[in-house]
Structure 1
Amino acid sequence: MQPILAVGLGEILWDVLPDTRMLGGAPANFAYHVNALGGAGVPVSRVGDDDLGREALSLLVRRRLNIDAVSLDPDHPTGTVDARVDADGVATYVFPDDVAWDFLALDQSALTLAARADAVCFGSLAQRAETSRRAIHRFLGAANKALKVFDINLRQDFYTPEILSASLDAADVLKINDTELGVVTSLFSLPPGERPALRALMARHHLDLAVLTRGGKGSLLLSPDAVSDLSGEPVEVVDTIGAGDAFTAALVLGHLQQWPLDRINRYAAKVAAHVCSQPGAMPEMPEALRLA
């Protein structure tokens, strides 16, 4: 049987920490974790035709990712982000403007990939620029058979109600964390409380699944006819970079195999906990967490 083909659509960038830099970007992290868990994860993105871009491509290849749909931009630099990790291992980010992934371009091979994909994960950050926003929605339109997952990923002020609403309309699944849910509840005047707010979004945008992560406090999955609400996995946190993307990758793989919500939730939490216990967004994945 062919592995599940899941695309991470959007930004590739370098997380620049005080003493090092690590390759990341939510879509690239998602693709890596799909691959590491036994699926076929593919990033669709853009990097600069510069030293950081070439280093990024080389590292993705070493991490066994297909880079055919990562294009080179001759005019804009590879994306970077200042990532700052607090005493609890929680990261915050500052993103420069006008970098390569703001100018995402799709060629025919990328559109062919869209038509083959079983799942596509996209967020709001890579839609901050009109060029990349148009490319993302064109890819989603070509991904006829794919499960479309909107991992909302709010960063700084790089989103508008219009961008969020259009993305929700394009999605089958919403992935959101508890801080982001507060922002979205205020933006869209949703009813108070986790479940009422998520149910309102599901009804308004015809979503099949809503997923809320609460860091160490567990995660909530809602479908039209089922609920899974589990406490978090105990873990000694090194940093949280990439943990949410790992959760999303495990979620997609479980959902496409039609697992019950509790099984999906438990598996995704274990995968995310492992990533929290390791430095960086793309650690090695233990064999016990890979799909059989």
Structure 2
Amino acid sequence: MQSIGRTARFDLLGIGNAIIDVLAPVPAGFPEAQGMVPGSMTLIDAARADAIYGMLSPEAQRGGGSVANSCVAAASLGATVAYLGTVADDALGRAFADDIRAAGIHFPCAPLAADRAEGRGTARCMILVTPDGQRTMNTYLGACTAFGTPDLDAAAIGDARISYLEGYLFDPPAAQDAFREAGRLAHAAGRAVALSLSDPFCVDRHRAAFLALAQGHVDILFANQDEILSLYETDDFEEAAARAARTVELAVLTRGPEGSVAFLRGERTEIAAASATVVDTTGAGDAYAAGFLFGLGRGLPVAECGRIASVAAAEVIGHFGARPEADLRALADLPG
């Protein structure tokens, strides 16, 4: 991946689900009364999303989405970042665009035209927080499901050291086509492509397609232990890790408090988890990927990339919310 060190307009370009996180306090028993399983995440349709949203008094509405979270964290570390994702021409779509641009991220995407939106609003994840701190999530993917090759920015992809693809976005066939085209565009420009598997359920649904994508279009693979075991249909982490190391140039596998392991061209690097007080693990993998990709963009050794990644993840799990609140550069003891 020597091309990562070449001059580029962007250190990182993310492609993922553009979601607004709606955080709302609710009384004890509210999730159960609405037929929800407390502590779960459920995908819902537009009618259900509108009904739930109408019952809430949101405490905060802010940009979300796995790779968008990674992009924000990478920008806070000092990376130059771009992001591609689809939003509708509505209040939440404008809020997402304002939020991600406020983080210093280039977001060239116009809201979906009416004929492409087909009535779909901007995606939202309604996070209901009961007095005991438990979070129950209801996610409406909306405009995200329209993402396809027309939403790619070929110039930006060609001028980004690394393009980072979100597994959560991989469901619609049009998005799968877009991922393959993004990989083609990046490699044609001599750039690197990274993929997050995102969730074991994503892997279960699209195992063969993910494997084909990884083998033909991906240089850097991020996965946690459950995801990589699912990908290779084994209970043996070492077997799965060895197969991942043979599939991509760089495989980065996280194991929660046990730390992580990275394989660059087959060479193994063990990475310790950073000390942390666990409050909310939401976004830990997003922050970890941000730190690692930031380090790669700076040409740092794998061990140092992993150290920065672990520090970023530790900061995020120390508070509620999936994006960093402290100065990651200072925490990671980065110069300047």
Task: Name the TM-score class by shorter chain.
Answer: 0.7 to 0.9
User: CA deviation digits over 1:110-132, x for unaligned, max 9?
Assistant: 11111111001112211101122
Instruction: Within 5 Å, give how 1:1-292 maps onto structure 2.
Output: 4-19=10-25, 20=59, 21-69=61-109, 71-74=111-114, 75=117, 76-83=120-127, 94-97=138-141, 99-107=142-150, 110-144=153-187, 145-154=190-199, 156=201, 159-169=205-215, 170-186=217-233, 190=234, 192-203=235-246, 205=247, 207-286=248-327, 287-288=329-330, 289=332, 292=336
Structure 1: stretches of 5+ with no match in the other structure: none
Residues 37 and 291 of structure 1 are in contact (CA less than 8 Å); yes or no, is this contact kept in structure 2?
A: no
TM-score for both structures, normalised by structure 1: 0.85
Structure 1 Cα separation of the partners of residues 184 and 222 of structure 2: 20
Structure 2 Cα separation of the partners of residues 160 and 90 of structure 1: 30
Aligned to 2:3: none
**How much is the aligned-residue C-alpha RMSD, in angstroms?**
2.9
Amino acid at match of 1:172: D
Identical counterparts, % of pairs: 22
Structure 2 Cα separation of the partners of residues 3 and 216 of structure 1: 35
Q: What secondary structure, in the 3-state scheme, does the structure 2 residue paired with 1:249 have?
A: helix
- Displacement, 1:18? 4.3
Structure 2 Cα separation of the partners of residues 278 and 285 of structure 1: 10
Structure 2: stretches of 5+ with no match in the other structure: 1-6, 26-58
Please say which of residues 219-228 and 83-92 is displaced more in the overlay.
Answer: 83-92
Residues 252 and 261 of structure 2 are in contact (CA less than 8 Å); yes or no, is this contact kept in structure 1?
A: yes
Residues 200 and 230 of structure 2 are in contact (CA less than 8 Å); yes or no, is this contact kept in structure 1?
A: no
Aligned residues: 285
Structure 2 Cα separation of the partners of residues 96 and 219 of structure 1: 32
Question: Residues 156 and 73 of structure 1: is their aligned pair in 2 closer, same or farther, counting only changes over 3 Å?
Answer: farther
Question: Residues 216 and 86 of structure 1: is their aligned pair in 2 closer, same or farther, counting only changes over 3 Å?
Answer: farther
- Displacement, 1:213? 0.9
Question: Residues 64 and 260 of structure 1: is their aligned pair in 2 closer, same or farther, counting only changes over 3 Å?
Answer: closer
Residues 62 and 96 of structure 2 are in contact (CA less than 8 Å); yes or no, is this contact kept in structure 1?
A: no
Structure 1 Cα separation of the partners of residues 12 and 256 of structure 2: 24
Specify the structure having the higher radius of gyration (Cα).
Answer: 2
Please say which of residues 25-34 and 11-20 is displaced more in the overlay.
Answer: 11-20
TM-score for both structures, normalised by structure 2: 0.75
Amino acid at match of 2:322: A
Amino acid at match of 1:226: E
- Displacement, 1:151? 0.8
Question: Residues 266 and 143 of structure 1: is their aligned pair in 2 closer, same or farther, counting only changes over 3 Å?
Answer: same
- Displacement, 1:248? 0.7
Structure 1 Cα separation of the partners of residues 182 and 132 of structure 2: 37
Structure 2 Cα separation of the partners of residues 90 and 176 of structure 1: 26
Please say which of residues 208-217 and 78-87 is displaced more in the overlay.
Answer: 78-87
Please say which of residues 119-128 and 99-108 is displaced more in the overlay.
Answer: 99-108
User: CA deviation digits over 1:110-165, x for unaligned, max 9?
Assistant: 11111111001112211101122222222221112222111110264573123211
Q: What secondary structure, in the 3-state scheme, does the structure 2 residue paired with 1:236 have?
A: coil
Residues 149 and 174 of structure 2 are in contact (CA less than 8 Å); yes or no, is this contact kept in structure 1?
A: no
Please say which of residues 137-146 and 100-109 is displaced more in the overlay.
Answer: 100-109
Structure 1 Cα separation of the partners of residues 267 and 228 of structure 2: 20
Residues 8 and 44 of structure 1 are in contact (CA less than 8 Å); yes or no, is this contact kept in structure 2?
A: yes
Amino acid at match of 2:176: R
Structure 1 Cα separation of the partners of residues 219 and 128 of structure 2: 32
Structure 1 Cα separation of the partners of residues 268 and 127 of structure 2: 34
